[in-house]
Amino acid sequence: MGFTCMVFTPLINEERRDWVGKCIAKIAVIIIFFLSSPLTAFAEDDSLPDEHTISDFLGKAQSYSLSCESRAAVDWATFWGFEITESEFLFSLPSSDNPDVGFVGNPNDPWGFTPPRSYGVHAEPVAALLRDYGLQAEAQRGLGWDDLRAEIAANRPVIVWIIGQMWSGQAREYTASDGQVVLVAPYEHTMTLYGYTPQSIKVLDAYSGRKQTYNLEVFLNSWSILGNMAVTGHGVTQEPATEIVPEEETYIVVQGDYLVLLAERFKTGWKTLVALNHLTYPYTLYPGQVLTLPSKSADDLSEPERTDQDDDHSGPPTDGSDLTQIAYTVKPGDHLSKVAYQLGLNWQQLAIYNNIPFPYIIYPGQILRWSDSVEPQVDLEKVQDSSTLDFKRMRWYYRHFSTIPNFSWIRVTWPF
């Protein structure tokens, strides 16, 4: 019996040594892997600055229970010099039970539900409407942390879709009436990212209109619930005039200016301003833009060349007839603010001149006119006072008129 023990004891010890050796080798591999990996769960681009803040980004608190996306969008647009009201933007969004297509529900309903109950809207319709207003906006999915850092480092704020106040959450699949399967989550919310450090991010919360700072990993977790959804982009940049005449004066555009108004103020034709400043259709002006004013002989400048693209619009005339007259034929998808923006006008003035009453419905084929030489005989206060009507009345108009044949493209603008 003692011999047997002497034979097998060394064998047992040998197997044990082999097992311990294998364990040590595995542990060594794991340690080497972690030592060679980043300490955080995401890789960072070393070419980007460690931290950056867009200091001049500002915003306001949302006006409706579910209007965070519209509030964030108009704050983002304001940063790029585009003045849009929250209510105007909100009620210009298409309506749908699919948040990837349009706004779901009533913006005054309680927060925290998912479709088909009142919910809000995702990035695609928001970016599309921002493009209608003339901004370069793109809906994004699946972005990474370095993508956000690159945008902020380039001084471009980013609208991000998160959960609540950077909460964790769980998304679920929802099948909309159009058959599309959409990822939705309770307490979907938007904030605008405007700064970051190695450990934190800086956002403007559409709910409160206040700037807040959150831990980076907390943000990344909340942002990931809806698939790292965002709206990125920038405003429209225009190349400066290439020809400058020393005797000519200049004018810096301020909020509320538009081409016809400036032409009247400086006693010239709007075409002269277009040609002198190399403006292109739709002749958009933005605050801070420097315009060259004509000298006494500049009114004889040749007219800007008309392109094939211009033929698709009936904006300011370029045929040398009456320079103060504008006629625009409404097309499917148009709404009053969009047309006014394209023509360089104020939507209220356009509504007054064409006697368009609340709820400011326009329809394909309708001709909108404008002349800077005739004062409209309509009370501006009547147009402005109509904005006090509540949301239910506005929705009633929308739903009522949307049932009329050939009115499927109606878009309603709520003025404030």
Q: What residue type is assigned to position 216 of the chain?
A: L
**Residue 374 resides in a domain:** yes
The CATH number of the domain where 105 resides is what? 3.90.70.10
Residues 309, 333, single domain; the answer is no
Comparison of pLDDT for 413 and 351, the residue scoring more: 351
With cut-offs at 50, 70 and 90, classify the pLDDT of residue 145.
very high
Peptide bond into 357 cis (omega under 30): no
* Average pLDDT of the segment spanning 61-70: 95
Last residue of a domain, which of 296, 323, 350? Answer: 323
157-187 burial: b if 16+ Cβ within 10 Å, else e: bbbbbbbbebeebebeebebeeeeebbbbbb
Comparison of pLDDT for 46 and 181, the residue scoring more: 181
Residues 78, 186, single domain; the answer is yes
**C-beta separation of 292 from 241 below 8 A:** yes
pLDDT at 321: 37
Residues 276, 341, single domain; the answer is no
Distance CA 367, CA 364 (A): 9
Comparison of pLDDT for 322 and 158, the residue scoring more: 158
- CB-facing half-sphere around the CA of 11: CA atoms within 13 A: 5
Which residues span the domain enclosing 394?
A: 324-416
pLDDT at 26: 64
Residue 198 to residues 53, 153, 154, 155, Cα–Cα distance (Å):
12, 13, 17, 17
**Residue 20 resides in a domain:** no
Q: What residue type is assigned to position 43 of the chain?
A: A
Residue 398 to residues 11, 57, 122, 227, 320, Cα–Cα distance (Å):
87, 34, 22, 33, 40
**Residue 410 resides in a domain:** yes
CA dihedral of 115, 121, 123, 124, whole degrees rounded to 10: 90
Give 108-141 pLDDT, tens digit per residue: 999 999 999 999 999 999 999 999 999 999 999 9
Q: What percent of the chain has pLDDT over 70?
A: 67
Q: Which of 75, 54, 72 is nearest to 123 (CA)?
A: 72
Give 236-282 pLDDT, tens digit per residue: 744 433 433 344 588 888 877 777 888 888 888 888 888 788 777 66
The CATH number of the domain where 302 resides is what? 3.10.350.10
Residues 328, 311, single domain; the answer is no
Q: Is the dihedral of CA 184, 190, 192, 197 positive or negative?
A: negative
Task: Please provide the average confidence, as pLDDT, over all residues in the chain.
Answer: 76
Three-state DSSP at 8 gives helix
Give 367-395 pLDDT, tens digit per residue: 887 765 544 444 444 444 444 344 444 54
Question: Which tokens hold the place of 378?
Answer: 């309509």
**Residue 312 resides in a domain:** yes
CA 323 to the chain's CA centroid? 34
With cut-offs at 50, 70 and 90, classify the pLDDT of residue 45.
low
Residues 259, 396, single domain; the answer is no
Asked if residue 51 has pLDDT above 90, the reply is yes
Query: How is residue 330 annotated by DSSP?
Result: -
pLDDT at 384: 41
Residues 200, 258, single domain; the answer is no
Q: Which of 264, 324, 272, 270 is nearest to 302 (CA)?
A: 272
Contacts of 358 (CB under 8 A, 6+ apart): 383, 386, 389, 397
Residues 195, 217, single domain; the answer is yes
Residues 363, 312, single domain; the answer is no
Residues 177, 277, single domain; the answer is no
**Residue 142 resides in a domain:** yes
Residues 62, 139, single domain; the answer is yes
Distance CA 29, CA 36 (A): 11
**Residue 30 resides in a domain:** no
Three-state DSSP at 393 gives helix
**Residue 68 resides in a domain:** yes
* Average pLDDT of the segment spanning 79-89: 92
Question: Which tokens hold the place of 31?
Answer: 């340690």
Residues 272, 134, single domain; the answer is no
Last residue of a domain, which of 307, 323, 339? Answer: 323
The DSSP string of 66-77 is T-HHHHHHHHHH
**C-beta separation of 194 from 54 below 8 A:** yes
Q: What total number of domains does the chain contain?
A: 3
Last residue of a domain, which of 217, 234, 251? Answer: 234
pTM reported for the whole predicted model: 0.52
Q: What residue type is assigned to position 197 of the chain?
A: T
Residues 275, 208, single domain; the answer is no
**Residue 147 resides in a domain:** yes
